[in-house]
């Protein structure tokens, strides 16, 4: 292999529209543009050999759609779609992984073979809209879904709907199953089974009402454990527990920052 060192520098009328350090396009780009980039490549053989050339970065804001817009489209194995989203959770699925992801407008699943993708990673994903039961997914060949990582360490991009414990418990099961919905509640956190905290569900209690908090990962459980016995504001997605005919609503707690705080 030949060692190659690459450096990049934007130039021209749209140079300010792309930040090479953060790999971000300026938020004020509202129409199709081309950004000029000068590339310097140094190949080290017996001695450094420098090559310089220019490329253009094609930016079209219309190519990236929101998750809400994606959900309105028909399922298709022919029309590739592009979204930019934050990873909320990662679960193994055979040899690959299913990622729960969100933007400001909604939550869906995407697939990948990249086990290093972690909650808080902001990614650009490319795939085809599929509906699996009541869940919407953006699927592709597992090695192709994640186009690139934009940033890391991001918080949940959705704004939660504030709800009290009584109203949350009373949510209709069909309504909960029909889509992912993000809620904020307050109450005192405790173990449902304090004799077995490593496997216990959690409870959130406010007044006479208590609801189950389900840790969606080992990281979620570790975070929740540090707040047991304290009054908290907690955010998560409404999910169903129990068997058909006797289901109940739980709050799925996600391993991403900004979802729990002390009152």
Domains of the chain: residue spans and CATH: 4-60 (no CATH), 64-151 (2.40.50.140), 161-262 (2.40.50.140)
The pLDDT of 50-59, averaged and rounded, is 87
Per-residue pLDDT tens over the stretch 132-152: 999 999 999 999 999 989 999
| Cα 175 to Cα 169: distance, rounded to the nearest angstrom | 12
The pLDDT of 50-76, averaged and rounded, is 89
β-pairing verdict for 122-132 and 161-162? unpaired
| Cα 78 to Cα 57: distance, rounded to the nearest angstrom | 25
In this prediction, residue 26 has a pLDDT band, given cuts at 50, 70 and 90, of confident
Higher pLDDT, 115 or 28: 115
Distances (CA, A) of 247 to 136, 241, 255: 22, 6, 24
| pLDDT the model gives residue 233 | 99
Assess whether pLDDT exceeds 70 at residue 14: yes
The pLDDT of 195-224, averaged and rounded, is 96
Assess whether pLDDT exceeds 90 at residue 28: no
């Amino acid at each position: 292999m030949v060692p190659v060192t690459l450096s990049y520098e934007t130039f021209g009328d749209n140079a300010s529209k792309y930040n090479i350090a953060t790999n971000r396009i300026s938020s004020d780009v509202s129409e199709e543009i081309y950004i000029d980039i000068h590339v310097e490549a140094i190949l080290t053989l017996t001695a450094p050999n420098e090559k310089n050339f220019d490329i253009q970065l094609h930016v079209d804001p219309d190519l990236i759609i929101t998750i809400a817009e994606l959900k309105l489209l028909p399922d298709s194995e022919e029309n590739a779609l592009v979204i930019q989203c934050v990873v909320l959770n990662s679960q193994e699925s055979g040899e690959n992984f299913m990622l729960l992801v969100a933007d400001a407008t909604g939550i869906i699943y995407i697939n990948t073979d990249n086990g290093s993708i972690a909650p808080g990673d902001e990614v650009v994903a490319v795939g085809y809209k599929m509906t699996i039961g009541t869940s919407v997914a953006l699927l592709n060949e597992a090695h192709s879904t994640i186009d690139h990582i934009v940033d890391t360490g991001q918080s949940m991009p959705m704004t939660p709907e504030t709800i009290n414990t009584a109203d949350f418990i009373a949510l209709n099961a069909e309504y909960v199953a029909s889509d992912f919905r993000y809620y904020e509640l307050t109450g005192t956190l405790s173990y449902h089974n304090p004799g077995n905290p490593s496997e216990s569900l959690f409870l959130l209690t406010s007044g006479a009402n208590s609801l189950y908090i389900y840790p969606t990962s080992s990281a979620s459980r570790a975070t929740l454990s540090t707040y047991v016995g304290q009054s908290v504001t907690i955010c998560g997605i409404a999910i169903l527990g129990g068997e058909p005919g006797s289901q109940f609503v739980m709050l799925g707690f996600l391993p991403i920052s900004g979802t729990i705080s002390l009152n």
